[in-house]
Structure 1
Amino acid sequence: MLSIVKEPYLQWPTLHSMTIMWETSEPSDSRVEILAAERIHSGYQGNYKKPEQLLCEVYSEDYCTIHQLTVTGLEPGTIYFYKVGSKHGQGEIESGPHPMKTAVRKGEPFSFAVTSETGGYSGFDSSNGQINRRIFKQMQAFRPDLALFVGDLVNDGTNYDDWDTYFFSPGKHLLTNTPFYSCLGNHERNASLYYDLFAYAPPKNYYSFDYGDAHFICLDSTDFIKPEHYPRSSGGMMPGNEQYDFLIRDLQSSFAKWKIVFFHYPPYVSGGYQVEDLRQLCPLLEQYGVDLVFNSHTIVYERSHPIRDGVVDMDNGIVYIVAGGAGAMPEWLLPRREWHTSQSLAVPHFVQVVVTSTSLEVRAIDDEGRLFDMMRIKKDFYGKRTFL
């Protein structure tokens, strides 16, 4: 019997398009329907009528198990509903309708959620994945426009079952309606499944994208710090390295109001598994005005003071946040904080970020929905930052 193995999930939202993926138990064709979403005072889902008006359909007759279709011609910042379907000679399946929202224009506020370690924490998790489910449920409650996962989505990226056990199954209610991005962690093991399951821009282990007034850059720190040399650099953080050259070009070409970078290994954390060699990237990030860096790997929450040139700089520094969220390892924290640490706590959590054209607000929220840290960066017309 044909069945859906991974419920549909959203990738790479733009102003006018969305990529939709799902997995079936057997090779079959692919179909996506986009339906109109009509507002009413009360109704089917989130005050929308049950969607029935078909706006467009995308179809591929090529048989596959991992399905990927991109819908174009959509309006910016607009909520639609979508259905997916697949069939072969012996059966047919369908999922939906599910809501989705295209990317917002510049000048329009939006929010995103950040967490990690859904699989990296698994070896220490005695709750059989309940922490993951609570984190995903809390993220869904805050209704982010998109989500970032900062590596270690799985315990072993080469193990097919891990992707469902630690990520797609506990996260399915969020992932069907919230586009997400991720970076490689050490637990992904640079496995081919990572490249098969996600629709990021090539080469997929590093890329960038714009959303509203923000420019996001994903890096592969497991390539800069290769497993055989960990935690030391293998010499790649210099011109001539493809990823490093990409980073330079990308930073030079972006004039976004906010610049946000995410990669797995943390250059700053008052705990185990700090990878100081990655501080070689910091002068470049500082030169081109990066505001915020998200990391993981150490399974705690930690927010740095604004840092520039290796010291606290409350006017021009970058804030580094370790969002090692879906788990907590208090024993990994050092007995006392380092100079760069502003706030730190080892609890299961995610981070909510609200972005406007003049401010960036960061909220750390635990797996029961309690706020335990908050920071705001304000930026004036000339780009001068104020940290609150």
Structure 2
Amino acid sequence: MSNTIDRQERFVPGWRIKILILLCWAAYGSEAFAHKGPDPLARWVFDSVAIKEDKLVARLGPDGKLSGRLSLVKDDFGESLQFTGWASDCVIADEHREVSQVLPTGAITVSAWVSVDERQSKGGIIGALQDNGDEKVGWLLGYDEQVFSFTLGSEGGRRGDRDHLTFLKGNTHYELGRWYHVVGVYDGAKMELYVNGKLDASSDAQSGAIRYPSTAPFTIGVYRDRNHNVFHNGRIRSISLFDLAANAKWVDEEFEHGIQLVNLPAPEKATEMEFVIKPYLQYGTKDGMTVMWRTSKPGTSIVHYGETFLCGNKQIVPGSREVHEVRLEGLKTGTQYFYRVETENEAGEGAFSDGYTFTTAVDENRPYAFAVIGDTQGNPEVSAKLAKLAWAQRPSFAVHAGDLVSTGGNPDHWTQHFFPGMEELISRVPFYPVLGNHEDDSPLYYQYMSLPAPEYYYQFKYGNAQFFMIDSNRNVGPGSEQYQWLEKELSESNSRWKFVCHHHPPYSSDENDYGDLWKTNISDRGDTDARQLVGLYEKYGVDLVWNGHIHSYERTWPVAGGAAREQGAPIYMITGGGGGGLETPGPYRPFFQNHVRYGHHYVMVHINGGVLELRSYSLDDRLFDHLTITKQ
């Protein structure tokens, strides 16, 4: 029989009845309420009584460590803590095992008063979970771009030897800035999600004890596992955690105690106009360049440009917007230009950039160079250093092999990680990315990129080379849209050099992504879906294929027909060292492996007619690999 909190029936055997009259927010929380029932395992109230510098003192249970940009906010009924999304969170334990005494196993009720100021695909209120590979366990109270959610994995949720999480999503669409009472309940057989006192969703997909991951933090105000770190932007007032399952009457009563909060209007935020994303470049051609940026408030889109720093020309895009995209046309081939951008609104507010330069694409008979980088993810310190080093070599453009960010649906990962990290390079040269798995095909990717249609795959030419950019997250098998498009484009290409870029590597020496080579000698040694394309590369004379996904460096021998060749076949390169957590090759050297290296890195490719020189550099700018290909 499942455990249930019930104010009419009191509580399940084993609990003595307690009636706690909580009359003062200074003692028990900023919202006054009368609570009937057992003590929770843990309760946190986010007010000036509980917050001591970087510490959250719990009313019950373990304290938490606060970090990031946080501020106490007062309203008509008390206080709450404003999480800004700027690396702001509350860590109860770096490892959930440290506080196992307050983590429910048989049944759970987690209750929170929260507001959301920014929509995110993976928003976290409180929880401890992993959602990676074969480990999909734990629980989390959270939200996505529209609704609240309750995620949980249990013993009964396993399918064979694999764990499965249930993502229980509600039906109530939240409004930004408004207060909501959100409750997740699990009784060992059924999951329920309540929003503002009403049942919003339920599921019986899980059963039995709650399973916890081998390693995971217990956090508030962040969705955090091995591959995600999504910070909450909004307020949290209080959170309570029980190892019993609440019924509908109890949830409704809890909501009634704080019902006055839901009528509070969303607070107004007064901000000055500023750059959220500084200017960057997209899709440069012989006679054109796209300039993009984002401001904190809508306004005009204006680019001043010219062949001197005076920027005597001006391009205006009518209308008012936050994400700005201005296409400059009619430019001279292979010519240096200066540019700066500005945005103004009707209130007279404005944002004005510094001056930058760019150079249009060169003719087919001119030498050129470009940079290759991948998997920058949530590490702007590393990506900024690599971008600075790459820019010092004055590339004509840059290619990015995917996983630009850690979480594509998290706006902060774009505005605080990717663009600030890459700014020194991409404000001066256009960059051409492909989608990685961490972009999650997010609308933000398409909002911030301006590439040839349909954008998730495309081709472009520069000098005497043609580049084919593929989304290996989608179907790339024979008969698929991308496969047919790629074969047609390759068959019609008359460029001297042919390059392909997609995120997942057809060949990889990695230790455990395609089979744990420290436990078995069985491994796919690369992504088998992406490997469906290698026949096209061999048939149509592709020279180099750049990939990411694996956070290390690898260059293969020329490979054709499933064997290493001396020459005349595609070479595959993994350039996944742009910032993500580093990975290691396995103990065995497969047939295709030529050069592997552990470490962050970038690659420079120099082309002069039929001569290609490739040089790979470490984070301290030391040359560690080079390759020369000569075509007759």
Aligned-pair identity (%): 35
What pairs up with 1:372-383 in 2 under 5 angstroms?
Answer: 372-380=624-632
* Equivalent in 324, 327, 334 of residue 67 of structure 1: 324
Question: Following TM superposition, by how much is the alpha carbon of 1:130 offset from its aligned partner in structure 2, in angstroms?
Answer: 2.3
Query: 1:99 matched to which residue of 2?
Result: 357
Aligned partners of 1:16 and 1:73 also within 8 Å: yes
Give the drift of 1:157: 0.2
Question: Partner residue of 2:307?
Answer: 36
Counterpart code for 2:617: I
- Which secondary structure does the structure 1 equivalent of 2:421 belong to? coil
Report if aligned partners of 2:477, 2:529 keep a CA contact under 8 Å in 1. no
CA distance, structure 2, for counterparts of residue 377 and residue 327 of structure 1: 28
Provide, for residues 139-186 of structure 1, a one-character-per-residue CA deviation record: whole Å limited to 9, x for no partner.
111111100110111010000000122210111111111110100000
Q: Match of 1:326?
A: 578
Q: Distance in 2 between matches of 1:24 and 1:330?
A: 34
1:81 is matched with 338
TM-score (norm 1): 0.87
Distance 2:556 2:415 in 1: 33
Structure 2 contact 331–360 (Cα < 8 Å) conserved: yes
Q: Which residue of 1 aligns with 2:389?
A: 138
Equivalent residue in structure 1 for 2:556, among 304, 310, 318: 304
**Which is higher, the Rg of structure 1 or of structure 2?**
2
* Contact 1:8/1:21 (8 A) holds in 2: yes
Is structure 2 residue 477 aligned with structure 1 residue 237? yes
Select the structure with the greater relative contact order (CA < 8 A; seq sep ≥ 6). Answer: 1
Residue-by-residue CA offset, 1:223-263 (whole Å, 9 max, x unaligned): 12xxxxxxxxxxx5112x21111101211221000000000
Is the counterpart of residue 343 in structure 1 residue 595 in structure 2? yes
Task: Look up the equivalent residue of 2:300 and give its one-letter code.
Answer: D
Q: In structure 2, what is the equivalent of residue 386 of structure 1?
A: none
Asked whether the 8 Å contact 1:300–1:328 carries over to 2, the reply is no
Native 8 Å contact 2:380 2:418 kept in 1:
no
Cα distance in 2 for partners of 1:329, 1:25 equals 31
2:452 paired residue number:
201
Alpha-carbon distance between aligned partners in 1 of 2:460 and 2:402, rounded to the nearest angstrom: 18
Given that 2:551 and 2:583 are in contact with CA atoms closer than 8 Å, whether structure 1 keeps it comes out as no
Corresponding residue of 1:6: 277
Runs of 4+ in 1 over 4 A off after TM superposition: 328-331
Cα distance in 2 for residues equivalent to 1:199 and 1:180: 10
Counting only pairs closer than 5 Å after superposition, residues 286-301 of structure 1 correspond to structure 2 as 286-301=538-553
Which stretch shifts more, 334-343 or 128-137?
128-137
RMSD over aligned CA atoms reads 1.4
- Say whether 1:219 aligns with 2:470: yes
Q: Which residue identity lines up with residue 300 of structure 1 in the other structure?
A: S
Task: Trace 1:115-264 onto structure 2 (pairs within 5 A).
Answer: 115-119=373-377, 122=378, 129-224=380-475, 236-239=476-479, 241-264=480-503
Alpha-carbon shift at residue 330 of structure 1 (Å)? 6.1
How far is the alpha carbon of 1:89 from its aligned partner?
A: 1.5
Residue 92 of structure 1 deviates from its aligned partner by: 1.6
1:328, distance to aligned residue in structure 2 (A): 7.0
- Which has the higher mean CA deviation after the structures are superposed, 242-251 or 340-349? 242-251
Tell me the SS of whatever aligns to 2:485. helix
Deviation at 1:61, TM superposition (A): 2.0
Gaps of at least 5 residues in structure 2 are 1-271, 514-525
Deviations along 1:109-163, one digit per CA (max 9) or x if unpaired, are 11111111111xx4xxxxx642222211211111111001101110100000001
Between the two proteins, the alignment pairs up a number of residues equal to 347
- In the alignment, the residues of structure 1 paired with residue 584 and residue 532 of structure 2 have an alpha-carbon distance, to the nearest angstrom, of 24
TM-score, normalised by the number of residues in structure 2: 0.54
| The 10-residue stretch of structure 1 (294-303 or 172-181) with the greater mean CA deviation from structure 2 | 172-181
